[in-house]
Amino acid sequence: MKCCRLAIASAAAVCVTGSFAADLGTLNVTTGSAFFGNTPIAGSFTDTLNFSITTTSFFNSSLTAVVNGGQDVDFTSIRLTGPGGTFNITQLTPDPVEVWATPAAGFILLAGSYTMTLMGINTAAVGSYAGNVGVSPVPEPGSIALMLAGLGVCGFMARRRAQQG
C-alpha cells in the first residue's frame, strides 16, 4: 500500500512540473540594446521578458541556442507583443546551432511596453540560450524630407559642374 501511494505521489509531482514559466525581468533598452539569456528547467518552458520604448522605433533581435552533447534547448516559438501588435521572431537555422531573429528590416514598434515570450523544451536542465534586442528611433518625416532636399541640392550641383566642365 505504501509503494502504491509513493508511486501516485511521484506521478503527480512529474505532472505538475511538466511546464514552467520564468519571468526574466525588464530589459533596459535606453542605450539602444540589451542582452538576455537563461538556463531553463528540463522539459517545457515559457520565459518572458519585458521592455518599454518612448518613441516609435525600429526593433531587431537575435537569439542562439547551441547543442552541447545531450544539452539542448529547442524553441517552439518566440513572440513579441505590445501596442504595435504581435510579431513572430523566426528560426533561421535549426540544430546544432539554433538561431532565431527578426527579418533583416526588423519591425517598427509604436511607443509603449512590450513582452517577448520564448517557448520551448530543454532536454536537460543545463542547456542555455542567449540573445540580444536592439531598438533605434525612426526618423521623423521632417528629418527625412530635409535629408532628401540636401541630396537633391548635391545632385543638382554635381550635374551643373559636369555641364560646365
Is the residue at 13 inside a domain? no
120 assigned to some structural domain: yes
Full domain range(s) for residue 95? 20-158
Domain membership of residue 8 (yes or no) is no
Would the pLDDT of 145 be above 70?
A: no
135 Cβ contact list (under 8 Å, min separation 6): 29, 32, 33, 51, 53, 57, 58, 59, 60, 109
Q: Which residues contact 59 (CB under 8 A, 6 or more apart)?
A: 80, 87, 102, 106, 107, 108, 109, 133, 134, 135
Predicted confidence (pLDDT) per residue in 48-92, tens digit: 999 999 999 999 999 999 877 777 899 999 999 999 899 999 999
Residue the block writes with cell 566642365: 165
Distance CA 125, CA 73 (A): 9
130 touches 61 (CB < 8 A):
no
Residue 1 is assigned to a structural domain of this protein? no
Comparing 25-39, 92-106, 141-155, which segment has the lowest mean pLDDT? 141-155
State the residue for C-alpha cell 526618423.
139
Domain count along the chain: 1
The rounded Cα 60 to chain-centroid distance in angstroms is 7
Answer whether residue 163 is part of any domain.
Answer: no
Provide the residue type at 159 as one letter: R
pTM for this one? 0.73
CATH number at residue 80: 2.60.120.380
Rounded distance between C-alpha atoms, residue 120 and residue 118, angstroms: 7
Per-residue confidence at 95, pLDDT binned at 50, 70, 90?
confident
Report the 10 Å Cβ neighbour count for 10.
Answer: 10
> 2 in a domain, yes or no?
no
- Within a domain: 35: yes
The answer to whether position 10 is within a domain reads no
C-alpha torsion 34→56→111→83, nearest 10? -100
Q: Which tens digits make up the pLDDT trace of 4-23?
A: 433 333 333 333 344 567 88
